[in-house]
Structure 1
Amino acid sequence: MPLHMRFGPDDLLRCRFGISPLWEVTGAVRALKEPRLQAYHLPWLRQTQPAARELDLTPLWLLMPRRGHTPDFLSPPPDSPLTSIEQDLARVRATDPGTARGDLARALADTPGAADTPSGRAMLADPARATRDLADLCERAWHALVAPYWPRVRAVLEADIAFRARRLADDGLTGLFADLHPSLSWANGTLTLHRPTQHDRDLGGDGLVLAPSVFVWPDVASGFDPPWQGTVVYPARGIGGLWQTPHADSDALVRLLGANRAAILSGLGEPATTTALAHRHGLALSSVSSHLSVLRDAGLLTSRRYGHQVLYARTPLGTALTTD
């Protein structure tokens, strides 16, 4: 029983990418609950464990069934290429109480007994208050679980979008969807998500939002109903190295390039911006910019502009130098 998203001519022209900090918050909260989601995030789990213990995440966990509906209003599709957490939370707080109650009831029904818990009954009895309380809890979870790591998380998400945008330019939607996720397939103007649910949606000319996430792995999320724009949240490339501490691969590389340049080159498994590299390596922006210029002039890096950003990536020679 798959999920079908059907494209018309206008939808093909209105596919876009978006990044939502709130998606990473709800994904992080879910990862704390489900061990199967934790494989790539063990260093993060160890570092955030004390802060997580200070949060009562029960109301959010009640709304996150293993299989089933999570409230759309709690993590709405990004309405711009990169939303801020303040924008995301403002949208949650502005949710109509009637809409919120229906969304909450649907999610609670997918976890047996959840609607009869004290938290579940309170949410259904006063959805306006529940919306405010859930937004406040998400805000606390942001500061405790995601904000300290946001620069590196954002860098992975932006690098993924740069890669996908290039894939779209080179190979069209067929190439883009071919390796987005094993559960997705594209044929005859329909994007199909193969999972145990039944949901058909005509996108109606609004197009599709593609949102990479580091915490959704190994799953893919979709199923948004109007008034929300159709959205697919998929695992970003490069999350395997997300929590690794950058280091030079060998003493010889350090002697050749110097410690900082060797670390920058070795850590560029995925394209990244100057700002992301400065955060990752704890260096001044001006220093990173200087190192990148030297590495690029030496033929070890390439740079490419995507919108207002410049992404740096290793050349084959740069990759060869960092490979044992």
Structure 2
Amino acid sequence: MPTRLHFDEADYLNCRFAHSALWETQAAAHMLKRPDRQAYQRPWLLRTRREAAAIDLTPLWLLMPQRGVTPGWLSPPPATPAAAFEDEIAQVRATDPLSARADALRSLKATPHALAAARDRGWLRDPAVMLREVSDALERIWTRLIEPEWPRMRALLEADIAFRTRRLAEHGLGGLLPEISTHCSWRAGTLTVQDHAEHERRLGGHGLVLMPSVFIWPHVIGTFEAPWQPALVYPARGIAGLWAEPAAPAVTTLTRLLGRGRAAILASLDVPATTTVLARRLDLAPSSVSSHLTVLREAGLLTARRHGRQVLYARTGLGDALTTGS
């Protein structure tokens, strides 16, 4: 069933990219409920299985039907390009309880046992209880499962945004959107997204927020219903290698040429990353990584691109050729 988003002239001017710590937190909870979404996340699942088992995910899972919508207030589209989790969770906690109850009922009714469980928990009688329990669960997932890995995840999301921004400049919005996913098509100012819901919305000058996600694969979400900002959430590029740890540096031609530290950094940049992510990934001091990055960049093996307060390093064509031996 398709979702159709209709653009007018003002919408083209108001499209933007963003990523959201809160979105990734709730999407991780959804992924934990759905084995069919876990193919690329198994290394992370193995590392975090004890922490995940200790978290009661029931409050979130009740609002995440397999066939049906999840309440918009659970993870609203971010108002800024890279909102802090603390600000986003504060917005969830500040949701009007009666509005939250009405929105939650649509999700609960999609699964009879979920509606019964919500009644048993007192959610329908006192929706403030629901907001508190759901917000507390989100905070626990963030603190125990997401925040320790957030630098790595954020680097991947920002690398996707940098890539998509270049593609937007090269091909325009009508060329970019079908590239994002095979579920997306574009014709005459209308974006069509194949998903589990039939929905139609005129963007009305609000534009579209394009949001890469680590945990949404293999799906794409095509809209948030009013009053939420229209958004397209799609799988980020490079998730297949996100959790892979680099192999221990071997005595190779690259190592002999560049030195062990620089060779390890260059080899680990299959996906663009920040100094902090590289230091953690390779167990090196940030100052050493920074020094190596400067040398590699001056040698023409890396590029640096600022995204917000972060600087992402990526291999150049020469860097790729040296790394792969091609």
Common fold: TM-score over 0.5:
yes
- Work out whether 1:259 is the aligned partner of 2:253: no
- CA drift of 1:282 comes to 2.9
- Cα 1:154–1:84 change in 2 (3 A) is same
Over residues 17-65 of structure 1, what are the superposed CA-to-partner deviations in whole Å (9 max), with x where a residue is unaligned? 1111111111111121111111111111111111111111112111111
Over residues 146-192 of structure 1, what are the superposed CA-to-partner deviations in whole Å (9 max), with x where a residue is unaligned? 11111101110111111111111121102221211110111111111
- CA drift of 1:308 comes to 4.5
| Distance in 1 of aligned mates of 2:180 and 2:242 | 19
| Distance in 1 of aligned mates of 2:298 and 2:121 | 63
Q: What TM-score, normalized to structure 1?
A: 0.95
- CA drift of 1:273 comes to 2.5
Kindly tell me the number of residue pairs found equivalent between the two proteins.
324
CA contact (8 A) 1:108 1:120 kept: no
- CA drift of 1:113 comes to 2.5
CA contact (8 A) 1:249 1:322 kept: no
Unaligned runs of 5+ in 1: none
SS of corresponding position for 1:151 = helix
CA contact (8 A) 2:301 2:319 kept: yes
| Distance in 2 of aligned mates of 1:50 and 1:280 | 22
- CA drift of 1:267 comes to 1.1
- Cα 1:118–1:278 change in 2 (3 A) is same
- Work out whether 1:298 is the aligned partner of 2:320: no
The amino acid of 2:283's aligned partner reads: G
- CA drift of 1:292 comes to 1.0
Q: Which moved more, 1:133-142 or 1:245-254?
A: 245-254
Q: What TM-score, normalized to structure 2?
A: 0.94
Counterpart position of 2:159 = 159
- CA drift of 1:274 comes to 2.5
Over the residues paired in the alignment, what is the CA RMSD in angstroms?
1.7
SS of corresponding position for 1:222 = coil
CA contact (8 A) 2:119 2:125 kept: no
CA contact (8 A) 1:17 1:161 kept: yes
Over residues 295-318 of structure 1, what are the superposed CA-to-partner deviations in whole Å (9 max), with x where a residue is unaligned? 122221122344554332112221
Counterpart position of 1:113 = 113
CA contact (8 A) 1:216 1:234 kept: yes
| Distance in 2 of aligned mates of 1:7 and 1:306 | 27
CA contact (8 A) 2:195 2:221 kept: no
| Distance in 1 of aligned mates of 2:120 and 2:152 | 35
User: How many percent identity over aligned positions?
Assistant: 56
| Distance in 2 of aligned mates of 1:93 and 1:120 | 21
CA contact (8 A) 1:37 1:218 kept: yes
CA contact (8 A) 2:220 2:234 kept: yes
| Distance in 2 of aligned mates of 1:119 and 1:218 | 33
CA contact (8 A) 2:118 2:124 kept: no
Over residues 176-218 of structure 1, what are the superposed CA-to-partner deviations in whole Å (9 max), with x where a residue is unaligned? 2121111011111111111232101111111111111100111
Unaligned runs of 5+ in 2: none
SS of corresponding position for 1:122 = coil
Over residues 57-87 of structure 1, what are the superposed CA-to-partner deviations in whole Å (9 max), with x where a residue is unaligned? 1121111111210111001101101011111
